[in-house]
Amino acid sequence: MPSETDALDVIAVGAHPDDVEIGCGGTLAKLVEQGYRVGIVDLTDGEPTPASPGPDVRLAEARTAAEVLGVHERFTLPLTNRRLFDGFDERVALAKVFRKWRPKLVLGLGDRTPMASPDHWQAMQITDAAIFYSRLTKWDEKFDGLAPHTISAQIYYPLTFYTLQPPPTANDFVMDIGSTLEKKLAAIRAYETQFPPAKQDLFDRVRAMNVAVGNAAGFAAGERLASPRALGVTDLMASLRL
């Protein structure tokens, strides 16, 4: 069990290695810059994929990407790519990670991704449930005796480039990633098997989207995130950066 000083402040969850980097990599790098302890959980190893020679290569790419972002811990759960489904065992497996590392905030996928992997939608449901399971009492035998842990906040990140609609969850906002956009792009580039020369247009799309989103909020670059709860303000002037 990690000590209180080793616990993670934030955990981001993806279905596959590279999901988190594309969806909220700039936010994670920014949180690291600000002194928070950040972790990533990949529910699967993402294999097989067409251009990858195997899981060892994909996992090495994921480790490199994590180092670029500066995240402190990265975990890969033994769930199955292409056959990821929201079920009891999957929920418990992720909840065990939350109970062990005791994050204050969890970031997870925010919606379906039509014409892309259905694993993303399943990952959203698994994450939602695991956040709830993490705090349940009188069920310790299901979680290897790990103590219950209440996660204080949850944030969704979208993973699509093909819609002009905002995230389906209300309460969306823009995270300033002006200082970390290049780290985000470098972390994505670590996945050489996933983004060969024929797919280099992805980087232009990521940059363009993050610059456009950031500019809308007065930043050089930004990521659009969403909260399932309304976001309250106690200091209006500070919140408006005045």
* Residue 103: predicted pLDDT: 98
Counting Cα atoms < 13 Å in the Cβ hemisphere of 131 gives 22
Number of structural domains found in the chain: 1
**Residue 92, domain member (yes or no):** yes
Question: Contact 12/40 with Cβ under 8 angstroms?
Answer: yes
Q: Is residue 84 included in any domain, yes or no?
A: yes
Average pLDDT over residues 124-153: 97
Question: For residue 89, what is the domain's CATH number?
Answer: 3.40.50.10320
Amino acid at 35: G
Q: 193 with 58: CB under 8 angstroms?
A: yes
Owning domain of residue 54 = 10-239
Domain presence at residue 32: yes
Task: For residue 204, tell me if it sits in a domain.
Answer: yes
Compute the distance between CA of residue 127 and CA of residue 106 in angstroms, rounded to an integer. 9
**Poorest-pLDDT segment among 1-5, 29-33, 132-136, 181-185:** 1-5
- Does the structure show a pLDDT above 80 at 212? yes
Is residue 194's pLDDT more than 70? yes
Question: What's the pTM value of the predicted model, to 2 decimals?
Answer: 0.95
Going by their DSSP bridges, the two strands 172-176 and 222-226 should be labelled as antiparallel
